[in-house]
Structure formats: structure tokens, C-alpha cells
Structure 1
Amino acid sequence: MTDLTPAPLLPVTDDVDTGGFFAAAARGELAIRVCSECRTDLHLPRENCPRCGAFSREWRAVPRTGTLYSWTVVEHQVHPAFPVPYTVVLVEVDDTDGVRLLGRIDGRPDLEIGQAMEVWFQQVGDVTLPQWRPAASQEESA
């Protein structure tokens, strides 16, 4: 009998512009690309800095916390590897210049714009994916 479980869709983790993000996640860190010259956050990662024009860039570890900026609940299944319902969250990462990252939460969680969020790391095959959830302190007080 064959396994009918669909393979998950996974990102390319060795790309020159995004590989450092996934390498950091594999170490349990959240990292963003920054300009080595003027320290501008470069998210989405790009070849050169839009502020100073420098082509030197590096990865900087950032806090594993953020604020819920927006979310949507997906009710229509678009791929067999992602059963519905699930919620896609957009989180503004703390101590960054407005960097926002996406995450996925199973089901229909009770969320509120502005609530504290924390990252956790999901292992899917050989890839480590940063995901978001409501901060533990908020869950405990609920």
C-alpha cells in the first residue's frame, strides 16, 4: 500500500538572498538581512541597500517576538498538504524597522490586532520554518 499523504511545499533554502534566513532558523534563531554600511533592514532581502546603495549586507539576529499586524482564515483548501481551516498571520517583528513575516496557525485561533506573538520553529523534513503563535504570557492569562 502506498502513502497518500501529500508532500508539503517547501521553500528553497540555499538561495543567495534567503539562505541565511533558513540557516538561522535551523539554529533556532530569527534573522533578517541588513545593510552592513548603514544598518538598514533589508526586508525583503535584496542585492543592494535602497537607503545608501551599498552592496554589502549581512544577517542580523532579531527578537523572537512581534506584534500581530493582520491575519486571515483560509477556509478553501488550495493544496492537499494544507488542510483547512488554517490561519495565515502577518507579524511585525520587534526591534526592526517594520519588518513583517508570515506564519501559519492551524484552525481558527482567537486573535486580536496588536497582540503579542512569539516565533517557534517547525521542522518539516530537512527544512526549519519559523512560525508564529500568540505569546505564552497571553495564553496563560486567557
Structure 2
Amino acid sequence: MLEPVVDADGAPFWRYAARGELRVQACADCGEPRFPPRPCCPQCQSFASEWRRTDGRGRVWSYVLPHPPLLPEYAARAPYNVVVVELAEAPRIRLVGNLVTEPGAPLDSLDPGRLRIGARVQAVFAAGGLPQWILERP
């Protein structure tokens, strides 16, 4: 499994995820949420930030089904899905992940025929804090 590259700006995201919380960085001055995390607000240029907990609900904005050839570690699981999820609480925030049948399930656990743009999803967390997504109404 690939490990996330954790930098100083994104480290809080991964600490919260390890606790099973989906949080996004927001400007402490104007309130604008932002992802990926960065030191300066793109709206007001403030360097003040905070981490806001979300309810983890969203919708599938886009998806792709990778097929081989892939990285050798992933080829046996193909085809699997990679989804872009638009958060309900912050529609300008889009997160990339996998839609699975349950927390920690393999990447290929969901039948690709069940993927739909606009499907409502909920964030869940695999062991180690990797965010994944499940269908709200399976």
C-alpha cells in the first residue's frame, strides 16, 4: 500500500484521520475552507488557520476505474475505483479516495457497476487512518 506524503501543512489532516475524524483546514479570519492544506488563505491571504471537523458526507463528483498495467502492488486488485468526493458541508472541497463496501475493505470490494456520479457517500477510515468512502444507502 502506498503511504501518504505528510508535510507540515497536511500533518494535522493525517493526525485527525488516524483518530477517525475527517477535518479540513479553514481560514481562521474569513472562514473559507481549503484543501489541500496550505499556509495562506487563497481568499484573504491570511496565515491564520484552524481545522474544522466535518460530518464526512459528500457525493461522488467523478471517478475512474484503473486497469493494468499499474504499479505491481495494485495490478492484482484491478479494476478498482478511485473517486473524487465533493464534501456536502464544503462543496468547493474535493477529496480523492476509494469507494469500498465497509471500512478497511479491499480497493476492489465494490462492484464497479454500482458507481454513479452524484452517489451520496460517507467517510470511513481504514486501519492507520486512511480515509475511504462507503455508499450512504448501499
Structure 2 length normalisation: TM-score?
0.84
Q: 1:62 to 1:55 in 2, by over 3 A?
A: same
CA RMSD of aligned residues (A): 1.4
What is the percent sequence identity of the aligned residues? 34
Equivalence map 1:5-20=2 (5 Å)? 8-13=1-6, 15-20=7-12
Q: Paired residue for 1:64?
A: 56
What SS does the corresponding residue of 2:51 show, helix, strand or coil? Answer: strand
Q: Paired residue for 1:131?
A: 132
Q: Paired residue for 1:94?
A: 88
Alpha-carbon distance, 1:101 to partner: 0.5
Q: 1:121 to 1:77 in 2, by over 3 A?
A: farther
Give the number of equivalent residue pairs. 126
Structure 1 length normalisation: TM-score?
0.82
Q: Paired residue for 1:114?
A: 118
Higher-Rg member (1/2): 1
What SS does the corresponding residue of 1:49 show, helix, strand or coil? Answer: coil
Whether contact under 8 Å (1:77, 1:84) holds in the other structure is no
Unpaired runs of 5+ residues, structure 2, are 100-106
Hey, what's the Cα distance between the residues in 2 that align with 1:50 and 1:75? 36
Hey, what's the Cα distance between the residues in 2 that align with 1:72 and 1:12? 22
Alpha-carbon distance, 1:81 to partner: 2.1
Whether contact under 8 Å (2:122, 2:135) holds in the other structure is yes
Whether contact under 8 Å (1:41, 1:97) holds in the other structure is no
Alpha-carbon distance, 1:43 to partner: 1.3
Matched, 1:85 2:86: no
